[in-house]
Structure 1
Amino acid sequence: MKHLEIERKFLVRQHIWEDVEKPEAKKLVQGYLCRDDQGVVRVRIADDKGFLTIKGKLENLGRPEFEYGIPIDEATDLLALTLFTPIEKTRYKYMYRGKLWDVDIFHGANEGLFMAEVELEDPEEQIDFPDWIGEEVSHDPRYYNAYLSQHPFKTWSENRKEV
């Protein structure tokens, strides 16, 4: 299914998030079959479901996205073909003042990174922020999963982790 994905990304204040009552979580593993300036092709396993996603070029917080459910065995086979280290994370869906936030706690090569995303109807849409939201990183390519698969967070120097 195609839609225009408009999202903003933020770092999560871990010390505050730790005290938040958490909704049910999903385990995600995803990798990239193709990544260039025009977009990405991603394969994802979310619990026991497989997905193939094609995302176009990012422009002003938005980009076209096509996502298709695929059999779990095919998703597993495709993950073995990805370009770089698959991303492993736990995702919480958190509703706050009418907006659904995806909060991702990264594992493996990206351990220590906590991020949140919120999808918008319009790039100029005003939103309220939970107190655990930190600095916005929407325009910082280092915090996109395709980049993190090639340059894992654990390999960053401390200076590079500062935004």
Structure 2
Amino acid sequence: MAKEIERKFLVQGDAWRGAVESSALIVQFYLAISSERSVRIRIKDGRTARLTLKFGSDTRIRDEFEYPVPLDEAREMMQFAIGTLIRKTRHNVRHQGYLYEIDVFNGDLDGLIVAELETADTVEDGRLPGWLGREVTGEIRYSNASLALNGFPEMTA
């Protein structure tokens, strides 16, 4: 079992784009979602698929289990998806030794760009990159599960 410790931010501007190390096209969908658990399938670059189980109601720290799934079975399971399919391009960007995963959403979520930082360290605000906008850690509406069920989140000041 792995603990997922994650902070999430909205992204502002394009300054991060020059530092992209790698990118992947992701299609993901949910087979089950509740306030304390989710079951997700993620297809990466149309070549590999993984099943992810997440447990816990704290959006910052959860228990996570992940397993490979045959690609043809993952595609077949799409018919059981609840909500909409999430389509995004994930870009990996390093800043001061930390890896940020920047998701640029497509389709119904076009225009939404979110950065995730998974680390056990506490990263002081002064060490965060300038292209990070408002922190949305803990705001359920920015979780991928909520995006699949509820669509584009309403923006607030």
Verify the 8 A CA contact 1:14 1:114 in the aligned structure 2: no
**Structure 1 ranges of 4+ moved more than 4 A:** none
> Which of 13, 28, 31 is equivalent to 2:29?
31
CA distance in 2: counterparts of 1:75 and 1:15, whole angstroms: 33
Matched with 2:123 is 126
Which residue identity lines up with residue 82 of structure 2 in the other structure?
L
What TM-score comes out, normalization by structure 1 length? 0.88
CA distance in 1: counterparts of 2:77 and 2:56, whole angstroms: 22
CA distance in 2: counterparts of 1:146 and 1:57, whole angstroms: 13
Which residue identity lines up with residue 139 of structure 2 in the other structure?
D
Matched with 2:8 is 9
- Give the percent of matched residue pairs that are identical in Structure 1 and Structure 2: 37
CA distance in 1: counterparts of 2:143 and 2:156, whole angstroms: 15
CA distance in 2: counterparts of 1:21 and 1:59, whole angstroms: 31
Matched with 2:110 is 111
Matched with 1:40 is 38
Which residue identity lines up with residue 69 of structure 2 in the other structure?
I
Select between 4-13 and 90-99 the one with higher mean Cα deviation. Answer: 90-99
Q: How far is the alpha carbon of 1:60 from its aligned partner? A: 6.7
Q: Which residues of 2 match residues 93-112 of structure 1 at below 5 A?
A: 93-112=92-111
Matched, 1:161 2:142: no
Residue 121 to residue 70, structure 1, CA distance change in 2 (3 Å): same
Verify the 8 A CA contact 1:12 1:114 in the aligned structure 2: yes
More strand, by proportion: 2
Residue 126 to residue 17, structure 1, CA distance change in 2 (3 Å): closer
Q: How far is the alpha carbon of 1:58 from its aligned partner? A: 3.2
Secondary structure of the residue aligned to 1:161 is: coil
Verify the 8 A CA contact 1:57 1:64 in the aligned structure 2: yes
Q: How far is the alpha carbon of 1:79 from its aligned partner? A: 1.9
Matched with 2:74 is 75
Q: How far is the alpha carbon of 1:27 from its aligned partner? A: 0.1
CA distance in 1: counterparts of 2:12 and 2:68, whole angstroms: 33
CA distance in 2: counterparts of 1:115 and 1:17, whole angstroms: 12
Count of residue pairs brought into register by the alignment: 154
Q: How far is the alpha carbon of 1:23 from its aligned partner? A: 2.6
Matched with 2:64 is 65
